[in-house]
Amino acid sequence: MSDVRIVVEGSSAAFESLWDWLRQEPGLRGRIRHLAPAAGPGTMGSLSQLAVESLVTGTISAVIGVLSQSLATWLQQRRSRGDAPVSVVVMVSGGQTLRFDVQSPAEIERLLRAATAPASRAGEV
């Protein structure tokens, strides 16, 4: 199974806002989970994560377009309201990490598709 993990760097309120936003997205319903990783030794806690799951490896591609549009819209709305800036960090199964502040939906989708492409195509970005 392939999945995408999302962390919001900023405030816990921003994380909760994105969690609510993504759960309302019809194309992502049933694919979003809230994860609270265990604290490591010597730490007070760990950042909460959202997991966007695909049922099988091939379906992650179908989810990327919806996720890209939703992330971009959420970031743009926060900016237009004058909310405190945040970064959304997306980690994909292959180990790549992407950071988004305010990008266009097309740019977010391009980067996510490149990061989730099968290894044989990953160099074709």
Instruction: Enumerate the domain spans of the chain.
Output: 3-36+47-119
pLDDT band, very low/low/confident/very high, at 118 (cuts 50, 70, 90): low
Give the model confidence (pLDDT) of 24-73 as tens digits: 999 888 888 888 766 566 655 456 778 777 645 556 667 888 888 899 89
Report d(CA 70, CA 105) in Å as an integer.
8
pLDDT band, very low/low/confident/very high, at 5 (cuts 50, 70, 90): confident
97, 103, 107, 110 alpha-carbon torsion, rounded to 10°: 30
pLDDT band, very low/low/confident/very high, at 94 (cuts 50, 70, 90): confident
Mean pLDDT across 92-110: 81
User: pTM value?
Assistant: 0.77
